Amino acid sequence: MKKIICLCLALAVLLCACATEKPATKTSRSFVDDLGRSVQIPDRITRIMPSAAMSQLILTAIAPDLMVGLATEADDPLLPESIRSLKNFGKLHEVNAEELALAQPQVIIDIGEPKDSVREELENLEQKTLIPTIYLSATLETMPETFRKLGALLDREEKAEELAQFCERTYARTKRILQSAEKADCLYVVGAEGLNVIAQSSYHAQLVDLLTHNLAVVDNPLSKGSGNAVTPEQIALWNPEFVLFESDSIYDTARDNPCWQHITAIRNNHFVEVPKRPYPWLSMPPSVQRYLGMLWLTYVLYPELCDYDLQAEVTEYFRLFYGCELTGAQYEDLLKNSMLK
C-alpha cells in the first residue's frame, strides 16, 4: 500500500509539472518508431530519458540538455557538464518507477540492437512507468539515419545533420580504405586474463568484423560485453597476428603471460589496448563511440592507406559529440597504450 501511495504522489508531481509547461503538453503527436508502433508523445519534447547505455551515448551527442537522468555512469570530465550531475537510474527495466516519475521525463528513448524481445520489453516498461517509450534501431551503417530521426523527434535537425554527416563521412572513407586493405587476422579479447573473446557475428563485434578478419568463430556467439569464454589452447590455435586487449585487461603483462607470450601478435609487438574514455571505443556499449574506434583502429592497422590526420579527426569527434575541446595532452593520454610501439 505504501508503495502504491508513493507512486501516486510521484505521478501527481509529474502531472502538475506538465501542467505548467503548456507549450510542451498542449498538443500531442503520433511518432512511428522502428518497431512500427504509433506512440503518442508531446508535441514539444523538453525532458528525455535514455533506456540504457547505448541510448545514453547517442542522446548525449544530440541533446544532453534535455536529459533528466542517466542509465549508466557519466562522470568523466570529457563528457558534457550538464549530464555529469544527473541521477543514474541504471537500466530502466530495473528502475524504481516512483523515483523515475519524480524526474518527470516526457518520453523514454530506447536505441539499439534490433532484437525479437524489444517490443515486449518496451511494452512492459511503459506499463511499469506510465511513460511513452519509443524505439530506434541503430547499427554502424544506419546511425546517420538514427540521428536524423532524433533530430525530427527532438527539434534538433541542424545538430542531427552535423552528427549524421560525420558518421557518414567516417563510414564511407573506412569502406573505401578496406577495399585496398588485406584484413589482419585479429582477436578482440576481454576479461582479467584475456580469455574471453568478442566473437565473430556478435553485436559487439560489428566493428571488429568490419575492420579485421575476426578469428573468434564460436558455435554460440554471445551478444554481451563479456564475450565468449575460451581456453588458452584455443587462443594458441587461432594464433592471431594482431590482438586488441580490452582496457584493464592483460595488456601490460601479455609478454610475460604463459598463455600469450608465444602468440605471433605478442612476439611481434602487434597488440594494443582499446581506448576507454569516456567509454570503450570498440563496444561496451556498441554505440556511437564506435566511430572513434573506426577512425583509430583503421589508422593502427592500415596506416599506409589512411589519408586523414587521426588527431584532427578524434578532436573533431570530441567537439561534435561531447562538446569537449580536446587538448593535445588529453589526446596523447587517451591513446597512450593504443598505438603500435
Count of other CB atoms within 10 angstroms of residue 311? 14
Flag whether pLDDT at 206 surpasses 90: yes
Flag whether pLDDT at 12 surpasses 60: no
SS3 for 243? strand
Residue 211 pLDDT = 98
pTM, two decimals, is 0.89
Q: How confident is the model over 265-283, as a mean pLDDT?
A: 97
Residue 237 pLDDT = 98
Q: What is the DSSP letter of 68?
A: -
Q: What pLDDT, in 10s, does the model give residues 32-88? A: 999 999 999 999 999 999 999 999 999 999 999 999 999 999 999 999 999 999 999
* Domain extent listing, the chain: 16-171, 182-334
SS3 for 30? strand
Flag whether pLDDT at 96 surpasses 50: yes
Q: What pLDDT, in 10s, does the model give residues 312-341? A: 999 999 999 999 999 999 999 999 999 998
Q: Are strands 107-112 and 133-137 parallel, antiparallel or unpaired?
A: parallel
Residue 13 pLDDT = 40
Identical fold for domains 16-171 and 182-334, yes or no, is yes
Determine the CATH number of domain 16-171.
Answer: 3.40.50.1980
Q: How confident is the model over 215-225, as a mean pLDDT?
A: 91
Residue 25 pLDDT = 43
Residue 6 pLDDT = 46
**pLDDT bracket for residue 26 (50, 70, 90):** low
Residue 11 pLDDT = 45
Residue 20 pLDDT = 41
Residue 92 pLDDT = 75
Flag whether pLDDT at 9 surpasses 50: no
Flag whether pLDDT at 257 surpasses 90: yes
With beta carbons less than 8 A apart as the criterion, state whether 232 and 259 touch: yes
2 exposure class (CB count in 10 Å sphere: 0-12, 13-18, 19+): exposed
Q: All 3 cell numbers of residue 17?
A: 509539472
Q: Where are the alpha helices (DSSP H) in 116-216?
A: 118-129, 143-154, 157-178, 206-211
Count of other CB atoms within 10 angstroms of residue 233? 9
Q: How confident is the model over 239-257, as a mean pLDDT?
A: 95
Residue 21 pLDDT = 43
Flag whether pLDDT at 114 surpasses 80: no
Flag whether pLDDT at 296 surpasses 60: yes
CA neighbours closer than 13 Å in the CB half-sphere of residue 298: 29
Q: Which CATH number among 3.90.550.10, 3.40.50.1980, 2.60.40.1930, 3.90.25.10 corresponds to the domain 182-334?
A: 3.40.50.1980
Flag whether pLDDT at 290 surpasses 80: yes
Gap between the Cα atoms of 18 and 101, Å rounded: 12
Length of the chain: 341
Residue 141 pLDDT = 93
